[in-house]
Amino acid sequence: MVKIGLHKSDEIRDVIQNKLKSFNDVYRSGPDLYFYRRSLYLNGQTEKLRDFLESDYNLEILYATLVSWDMNSRGAKMKYFNEFKGNILSLEGQLEKLWKKRIEQIDNFEAILHTVSDVYEGLHVMRTGGKLVSNSKLLHFIFPHLLMPMDRSNTLVYFYNHTNESKAKYLDLLRWSYDMVKSDGVEWGKYLDDQWNSTIPKILDNAIILKHNKSVKRAQEDV
């Protein structure tokens, strides 16, 4: 377990309280936002995990959202859809344990992480190497109120000063997200909106992006 310094939490808390409302203005707002919002809508409309996963349309939206979130570009290559679907369905029993849970309502997060660890091991949606980015994004799409998405250039560089990924780092960062949500000082509900700041885990991701500033700069240049 890697101990994340308290100053990082203070920095992110400051960003949330003073800069987060600018995120929708400076970040990308094309297909990546559309498909993300679509995946959240479908997730929220489905009562049972089995119904959600057994809909090809829902899985196609998850697939398209990953593509729009750069998981099939810049050297990253996703598996063909049928392999993607089969891999997710093979984990249905483990995924069921996490369905509809919200990070702010969890008391025993270590029990959640035990299941997440098993799911992480079994989840293989990329043809290219690396799992943390693709797995964290996909798991966020399926469990948007529980698990935070991550990437190398923002999340890993900000917290670890390098882009070397591992399951241990993923679990450590999820622990950090839980500690952030459970700590005093942030009224999470006041920052939620109907764009990028749609869930508490995504708010944390957005604040990291704002603090590190790399993706925000790229989004501004792309306009």
What local confidence, expressed as pLDDT, does residue 221 receive? 42
What local confidence, expressed as pLDDT, does residue 215 receive? 64
At residue 217, does pLDDT exceed 70?
no
- Banded model confidence at residue 6, pLDDT cuts 50, 70, 90: confident
Nearest to 208 by CA among 151, 166, 168, 170: 151
- Banded model confidence at residue 3, pLDDT cuts 50, 70, 90: low
Rounded mean pLDDT of the chain? 93
pLDDT digits (tens, 9 = 90+) for 9-37: 999 999 999 999 999 999 988 999 999 99
- Can you tell me which residue has the tokens 């570009």? 73
pLDDT digits (tens, 9 = 90+) for 85-106: 999 999 999 999 999 999 999 9
* Residues 211 and 10: beta-carbon distance below 8 Å: no
Q: What one-character-per-residue DSSP string does 11-64 give? A: HHHHHHHHTGGGHHHHS--SHHHHHHHHHHHHHHH-SSHHHHHT-HHHHHHHHH
Domain ranges of the chain: 29-181
pLDDT digits (tens, 9 = 90+) for 145-184: 999 999 999 999 999 999 999 999 999 999 999 999 999 8
Distance (Å, rounded) from C-alpha 130 to C-alpha 134? Answer: 8
At residue 75, does pLDDT exceed 90?
no
- Banded model confidence at residue 223, pLDDT cuts 50, 70, 90: very low
- Banded model confidence at residue 74, pLDDT cuts 50, 70, 90: confident
The larger pLDDT score, comparing residue 171 to residue 218, is at 171
What Rg, from alpha-carbon coordinates, does the chain have? 16
Lowest mean pLDDT among 4-8, 44-48, 85-89, 154-158: 4-8
What local confidence, expressed as pLDDT, does residue 220 receive? 44
